[in-house]
Amino acid sequence: MSPEITKHNGKPQIHALRPLPGVERFTPVTPHLAISPTVSVVIPAMNEAENLPHVFATLPHWIHEVILVDGNSTDDTVAVARRLRPNLRVVQQRGKGKGDALRTGFAECTGDITVMIDADGSTDGREIINFVGALLTGADFVKGSRYASGGGSDDLTFSRRLGNSVLRGMVNRIYGTRYTDLCYGYNAFWTRHLDVLDLDCEGFEVETVLNIRAAKAGLRVHEVPSHERCRIHGESNLRVVRDGLRVLRTIMREWRRPAVEAPPAPSSAQRAADQGAA
């Protein structure tokens, strides 16, 4: 094991590097990069058969599992998904809404890291490496941001942009955060934090709930730039006024809700396994 050399008061200091997990635990990402943690991707979908070929084509080959949460689709969503990815795990949603679908999918994850993306083609699976990279370098929860440098959107109308700006400003003021984006469905986190996030919502306010609870729990939240594309086929179920009011009520409700403390940091050996890369 090679030493790590730093400087203290101008003098070189030598420290032993932390041990890395066994080579057999590494998953190749590129010819020059491998990671140790396993990654689960959760995709809530309802009548998205036409969009899934594009969505699945962007998913990295190295992810551990893909969990499709089917919201009682009336088209060929499940059949198309199974054909595209035979090792796919399909979970049937019993309730309704995006929040309920994500809660259902999160409960089935077996990976060390959980990533949530949309099934309409608006989120690019090739960006997953950026989220995982931020987690491996110290973050507990990683938010995709359309407003961060390098991010963007092809689908933000004036009303959506205005609503997001107002609601984001409220969250930053009330909870002391510095988020540049709030209502965006591309996020990732260490699966061990599920108990802290404790999802109990049903609709599109789910992203706001995740962002607020991560902050209140003291999790280390990082943002990474992400580019949102337009839905490829079909129509969105998002309604700006209706869902904006739901987000507003969520912000005030979470203000009254007692914070849940994050569990103790993992041991040095666990951190080595979590953050292993080569």
In a domain, 101, yes or no: yes
Distance (Å, whole) CA 151 – CA 168: 17
Q: How confident is the model at residue 156 (pLDDT cuts 50, 70, 90)?
A: confident
Distance (Å, whole) CA 40 – CA 177: 27
pLDDT surpasses 90 at 115 = yes
In a domain, 187, yes or no: yes
In a domain, 113, yes or no: yes
Distances (CA, A) of 147 to 76, 181, 182, 219: 35, 6, 10, 21
In a domain, 75, yes or no: yes
Show the tokens assigned to 29.
């990402």
User: Which residues make Cβ contacts (< 8 Å) with residue 142, sequence separation at least 6?
Assistant: 131, 134, 135, 187, 188, 189, 221, 222, 223, 224
Query: Could you tell me the residue range of the domain that residue 208 belongs to?
Result: 39-258
Residues forming beta bridges with residue 189, ordered by sequence position: 114, 141
Give the residue among 157, 163, 164 at the shortest CA–CA distance from 143. 164
Distance (Å, whole) CA 82 – CA 236: 23
How many structural domains compose the chain? 1
Q: How many CB atoms lie within 10 A of CB 175?
A: 18
207-225 in b/e burial notation, b at 16+ Cβ within 10 A? bbbbbbbbbbbebebbbbb
In a domain, 134, yes or no: yes
pLDDT digits (tens, 9 = 90+) for 191-243: 999 999 988 888 888 999 999 999 999 999 999 999 999 888 766 665 656 76
In a domain, 137, yes or no: yes
End-to-end CA distance of the chain: 13
The arithmetic mean of pLDDT across residues 93-99, rounded, is 92
Q: The domain that contains 81 carries what CATH number?
A: 3.90.550.10
In a domain, 65, yes or no: yes
In a domain, 94, yes or no: yes
Give the residue among 250, 151, 260, 247 at the shortest CA–CA distance from 215. 260
pLDDT digits (tens, 9 = 90+) for 2-45: 444 444 455 555 545 445 444 456 888 887 788 889 999 999 99
Type of residue numbered 55:
V
- Its pTM stands at 0.82
pLDDT at 273: 52
Residue % of the chain over a pLDDT of 70: 81
Give the residue among 123, 69, 122 at the shortest CA–CA distance from 99. 69
